[in-house]
Structure 1
């Protein structure tokens, strides 16, 4: 009984060996005109969306679209310690949109003439003092203005939270909901304003 089974196995192996592909000699070049359309074009490369925003690690000033959505714009800041760089960035925020940004219809909720300065640095929390002749914005504009300040300051990697003062006095700041908070403010508090206008 074992012999016929062995013969079947050998016969099968011989048959399979006969199905091999002949090497046929050296490869021959094919003229590009004989290649079917599309086979010579490079394969499309698909890249997964990057979690890093297009601005990379650049510091950002946050401005407003015509629909009151808060958006980042990359800025260059002076070299130096955190206070120096943050003061420079806040001065750019207080100055408002550049001419190119205004051409792109970006605006600001900060009052003309407002001053923003670093009053203190305590670990990863900074205190920013608002000064100037203008009135502090109220209502919707106050929420947008605070969002601009907090998001701009926290675009520097060393800054996690922001406290606000007005001429040295502690300031309760509005959250997107309109609720006032005396706690340190973080970027995540204002994330809703990055995708839709305040309700």
Structure 2
């Protein structure tokens, strides 16, 4: 019995020692396969940092809008940041934008609680579904600015009759409530309530 116990104890200790990670006695270079991948210095969008947010189309088949961090000094800067689209890391994470990369910001003007965003005509060449998402990106991003509740979109100084998800169009200032169901919510899904048998 004593030999069996001694053999089991020895095997157990050897197995435990073999599983442990041993520290290196001195610094060493890691093989290339174990090194972290380097990221490119080039980016299509801005660095994901700062207290401001823009809205991009998140990964997944539902193509819902998701906010990402950005740094912006003004309404003009925030809108231009949105037009630059996702950065390299976000592209790798499968974020996209419905706004054509050729779209230019002519002007962004705040008056009271409204931001007027004047864009080049490139954006209106989109099909209706893509245009709805592009406008939703603009509206949700603009209303991230302090005090902004509505957004008037113009194309080369002409008020845009903007499509909404319900199939209507409106030339009135837009609110986030005009684009429901297009944004990913952080609220968890709640289970259905109990079914009454009465």
* TM-score normalised by the chain length of structure 1: 0.62
Shift of residue 174 of structure 1? Answer: 1.2
1:189 aligns with 2:173: no
Partner of 2:146: 157
Which of 71, 78, 86 pairs up with 1:76?
71
1:98 aligns with 2:78: no
For 2:132 and 2:121, locate their aligned partners in 1 and report how far apart those are by CA, in whole Å: 18
Alignment of 1:1-199 (within 5 A): 58-65=51-58, 66-67=60-61, 68-78=63-73, 85-131=74-120, 133=122, 135-195=124-184
Shift of residue 158 of structure 1? Answer: 1.9
Provide Cα deviations, 1:30-85, integer angstroms capped at 9, x if missing partner: xxxxxxxxxxxxxxxxxxxxxxxxxxx9321100024211111011112xxxxxx1
Shift of residue 135 of structure 1? Answer: 4.9
Q: Which runs of 5+ in 1 are unaligned?
A: 1-56, 79-84
Taking only aligned residues, the RMSD between alpha carbons, in angstroms, comes to 2.1
Contact 1:118 1:126 (C-alpha < 8 Å) held by counterparts: no
Secondary structure of 1:192's partner? coil
Secondary structure of 1:193's partner? coil
For 2:53 and 2:108, locate their aligned partners in 1 and report how far apart those are by CA, in whole Å: 20
Secondary structure of 1:73's partner? strand
Secondary structure of 2:182's partner? helix
For 2:122 and 2:177, locate their aligned partners in 1 and report how far apart those are by CA, in whole Å: 30
Shift of residue 195 of structure 1? Answer: 3.6
Secondary structure of 1:177's partner? coil
For 2:143 and 2:95, locate their aligned partners in 1 and report how far apart those are by CA, in whole Å: 20
Contact 1:110 1:145 (C-alpha < 8 Å) held by counterparts: yes
Provide Cα deviations, 1:92-148, integer angstroms capped at 9, x if missing partner: 111110111111100000012101243432201011011155653121101000000
Count of residue pairs brought into register by the alignment: 135
State the structure with more CA Rg.
Answer: 1
Contact 1:114 1:131 (C-alpha < 8 Å) held by counterparts: yes
For 2:131 and 2:123, locate their aligned partners in 1 and report how far apart those are by CA, in whole Å: 13
Shift of residue 185 of structure 1? Answer: 0.5
Q: Which runs of 5+ in 2 are unaligned?
A: 1-49, 186-198
